[in-house]
Amino acid sequence: MQQERDRDVIVVGGGIVGAATFYKIQQRFPHLRLLLIEKEPHLADHQTGNNSGVVHSGIYYKPGSYKARNCVEGRRELVAFAREHRVKHEICGKLIVAVDENEMARLDAIWERGQANGIEDLRRVDARGIREIEPHCSGIAGIHVGCTGIIDFRGATERMVELALMLNPDSQVHLGEKVLGLEQVGSTSTVRTDRGIHRAHTVIVCGGLQSDRLAKNDGVRFPERIVGFRGDYYELEDHAKHKVRHLIYPVPDPRFPFLGVHFTRMTDGSIECGPNAVFTFEREGYGRTDFDLKDTADALSYIGTWRLFMNNMAYGIEEYRRAFSKRLFLRTLRRSVPSLGMDDIRPGRAGVRAMLLATDGTMVDDFRIERQGRHVHVLNAPSPAATASLAIGGAIVEMVVEQLGVGQ
């Protein structure tokens, strides 16, 4: 066991939200001694490092919501950070494409939200305009979102932590260390891990796929539960990469909680197609047959999971069919890029989304951050949390300063 150490602030979780919070606190209070604890051997090993790599504009989100505000502010801050600190990125723009008349009303609603959220560099395009931007894409109308981009989120996470450590050499990062318990006694918070005990004034938990368990372990009471959804990707073969220049998205169906299968040119030049969205039997399992008994029992013993299944049965069955059928996946891709063939795509990687699911089977859409004494828990940080990470980190700093008194 390691000897107990005193810290001013401990951040639990080395994804981009945890890294951004670590960086923001250290930037504002360089004298504070911070500790970042991550259970994996590398930063950004789960949601951050396995997402679509898109810098989202903020066009989809309900005006006035925490998501909408933080996505727009966070995107601008993230892009400025990437430029200043040489994180690989590109502001390449994306197309949201309607392929038939039934989608036009939804496309109009997205346009109105974009206007209400103050998204810059938006323009409507017709079928001809779509082809000028993406010659192989087919649609009757679309929205070009010029401020959307792509970024290396792993690289951004690592750079945030590097910069924080440069500000105070007494701050530290512990990788490969798992948090087992949290406790508050008097003016001291204790974090117990599989490698020792750490004490601090304040603890901030950015637990991602484990956020509900860490919060409930800390005494936070809430009825919802995290349920994992795996997203599988395909990649375009080299000979087919010319068919997608940048980003192509469908018009999302509001009946379903995800944006749908889309095309993304990544910062390494590859082009990913996906993801689908299927219930996963292991929160941190990326294979189609991965299974964890505790994760499965937690999910299937929860009424919200079954209500989600019942409310979205047809959608869920179709998603599972696509997960195991290249031909069905291709059929979905061909709605936007009709010339794609079976030999144009190959199986790619997978990611897992952490969704906070309510007891009625609906997904908690907005970001949620809760305070428990001197502890702050990020309970729900779905997409676009990576884009909004610096804004979320800034908001957490304000909670720490104003409510917990750190740095005064």
pLDDT tens for each residue of the chain, 408 residues long: 344 558 999 999 999 999 999 999 999 999 999 999 999 999 999 999 999 899 999 999 999 999 999 999 999 999 999 999 999 999 999 999 999 999 999 999 999 999 999 999 999 999 999 999 999 999 999 999 999 999 999 999 999 999 999 999 999 999 999 999 999 988 899 999 999 999 999 999 999 999 999 999 999 999 999 999 999 999 999 999 999 999 999 999 877 767 789 999 999 999 999 998 899 999 999 998 999 999 999 999 999 999 999 988 887 888 888 888 999 999 999 999 999 999 999 999 999 999 999 999 999 989 999 999 999 999 999 999 999 999 999 999 999 987 556 655
CATH 3.40.50.2000 matches 2-48+154-223+366-404: no
Rg of the Cα atoms in the chain: 21
Give me the pLDDT at residue 405, please: 63
pLDDT at position 6 is 85
First to last CA, the chain: 33
| Cα-based distances in Å from 407 to 33, 89, 224, 402 | 11, 34, 33, 10
Taking the model in full, what pTM does it have? 0.95
Q: How far is CA 386 from CA 21, 75, 85, 134, 392, in A?
A: 12, 9, 17, 26, 9
Residue where the block lists tokens 């206007």? 115
Hey, where are the domains in the chain? 2-48+154-223+366-404, 225-240+269-363
- pLDDT at res. 355: 92
Report how far residue 26's alpha carbon sits from residue 187's, in angstroms, rounded to the nearest whole number: 21
Q: What is the pLDDT of residue 403?
A: 59
Report which DSSP code applies to 281. S
